[in-house]
Amino acid sequence: MNILWAHQIVTVDPENIKEILATRFQDFEKGEKFHDMFESFLGTGIFTSDGETWKFHRSMARPFFVRERVSDFDYFERHSAKVISIMEHMSARSEACDFQDLFQKFTLDTTTEFLFGSCTNTLDAPDNGKGDHNRYADFARAFDRLQDIVVTRVRIGSTWPLFELFGDKSKGPMRIINAFIDPILKHAMRDRKNLLREDVTFLDYLVRTVDDEKTIRDALCAKLLAGRDTTASLLTFSTYALALHPEAMLELRKEVLRTVGQMRAPTPADIRSMKYLRAFINEVLRLFPSLPVNIRRSVVSSALPSPLSKMGPLYMQDHVSITYSLFLMQRRADVWGGDAEMFKPERWLDIPGQALQTKPQVANPFIFLPFNGGPRMCLGQGFAYQECSYLLIRLLQRFRAFDFAPDAQPLVSLPPKEWAQIKGRASIERCRIKSSLVLYAEGGMWLRARAADGSESACPEQ
């Protein structure tokens, strides 16, 4: 494409993407323009840098994301209990609830606690499920605003500074973010010499290993951005898939009740043993990847292999942006089979006689990249799987179904009428799927939760 005299390549070919992210990692960078668009928000951190600076930030963050740390379930339990209590309250009155809003609060609370040890407690607002009146709502709104600002910059491209000639739009919301982070950060810096306990939070770890306050603040903002909406998106589309596919709900509840019963909190070993749950989450991430589109910039000119396009290698100019869409690539029929657009967690399981479908990602890991591939792979993958699994298990212990609530859905959240005419997946969607930085349901994900009756056996029937 040529937009405002700038060339841009768009690809949905796994072989191209493999080349960009892994095989020739050093020849494709995020680039200076990307850095400039995000700098006022994320500074020069892991997301916005390349080369040695990126390596420094990656090696600084990596030790914190070890398995033991992301498997500390105490605070998942506390925050899950709040989500469940809100849903139970709404369910008892047969009221619909915006699940997306709840999950955004849940992931903001868990991620701030994981990173800072100080939680935003957005789930404690008195009228949850309907609104968001507490003092942290400003923080959440400022964060959303910042994401909108940077997405708009990415969409406008190189000329974005022209649209902010009269001032950097991120300044206002950044003041609100800093007002939350700065006191916590200053306190931690002041006390760091007396920090006798081992690092409990990412902040403990950073103040012990890094001297510069700005580097620490940027690192915290980056992880907050990385961890909050991505996981909320995964949870939102997980419950959407459960509402849309009651057979998957039944199967998943069977596994949950067989493994942990109706009351017991899951352990990391329980989660590891739950094969259908993992398959279910992968299938959600395949059809609804939290980061549906991503971008890199070529450093040198080259030829990209494209066996699927059957056109031979494709010329890739130097200093040109290349956008790759996972949303489209992970739905390609020639890659995933004729049922690519169907929701089928079974395709991730070892099913005798279904050789073609067995663990598709093993055959070619680059056809499934919700957490990215190559050296810049997501550091929070383990944390995200644990967090999402934990909450889903807790929800399925308490609720036996999630039903759509068209009566409560705002108009803007309904799928556009023309989707009904489109052949394939779009015609069965019940919400308006959109993307800013992450995939989300426009106007919210309005569902009603049906409570389980508390006396179910390990094999529930509908």
Q: List residues near ligand HEM by CB under 6 A.
A: 46-47, 58, 61, 111, 223, 226-227, 230-231, 234, 290-291, 294, 370-372, 376, 378-380, 383-384
CB of 228 to ligand HEM, least distance (A): 8
Sorted by sequence, the CB contacts under 8 Å of residue 360 that are 6+ apart come out as 336, 347, 348, 367, 368
In 3D space, the residue among 325, 302, 326 whose CA is nearest the CA of residue 313 turns out to be 302
Q: Which is nearer to ligand HEM, 170 or 230 (CB)?
A: 230
Element (DSSP H or E) covering residue 237: helix 213-244
Q: Is 378 within any annotated ligand binding site?
A: yes
Q: Name the residue number minimizing CB distance to ligand HEM.
A: 380
Find the shortest distance in angstroms from Cβ 251 to ligand HEM.
21
- The single-letter code of the amino acid at 269 is A
At residue 367's C-alpha, the angle toward residues 321 and 17, to 5°, is 20
Of 149 and 384, nearer to ligand HEM (C-beta) is 384
Q: Is-contact 107 227, C-beta < 8 A?
A: yes
Residue whose CB is less far from ligand HEM, 44 or 372:
372
Round to whole Å and give the CA distance between 187 and 185: 5
Shortest Å, Cβ 25 to ligand HEM: 11
41 close to 174: Cβ distance less than 8 angstroms: yes
For the bound state, the minimum distance from the C-beta of residue 232 to ligand HEM, rounded and expressed in Å, comes to 9
Closest distance of CB 147 from ligand HEM, Å: 14
Task: Provide, rounded to whole angstroms, the least separation between the CB of residue 224 and ligand HEM.
Answer: 8
Instruction: Report the alpha-carbon distance of residue 100 to residue 243 in Å, rounded.
Output: 14
* Residue 332, phi then psi, degrees to nearest 5: -70, 130
Q: Residue 296 or 344: which CB sits closer to ligand HEM?
A: 296
Nearer to ligand HEM, 90 or 385 (CB): 385
Q: 347: closest CA among 275, 423, 410?
A: 275
- Residue with smaller CB distance to ligand HEM, 230 or 409: 230
Neighbouring C-alpha atoms within 13 Å toward the C-beta of 167: 5
Q: Where are the beta strands (DSSP E) in 96-218?
A: 97-98
Residue with smaller CB distance to ligand HEM, 15 or 113:
113
Q: Are 287 and 330 in contact (CB under 8 A)?
A: yes
Instruction: Please report how close the Cβ of residue 379 comes to ligand HEM at its closest, in angstroms.
Output: 4
8 Å CB contact between 119 and 430:
no
What's the closest the beta carbon of residue 417 comes to ligand HEM, in angstroms? 30
Quick one: 102 or 378, whose CB is closer to ligand HEM?
Answer: 378
Angle at 66 between CA 60 and CA 71, to 5 degrees: 140
- Residues constituting the chain: 462
Residue 115 · residue 223 · CB < 8 Å? yes
Closest listed residue to residue 169, CA positions, set 189, 154, 183, 149: 149
Sequence ranges of the binding site for heme: 378
Binding site, residues? 378
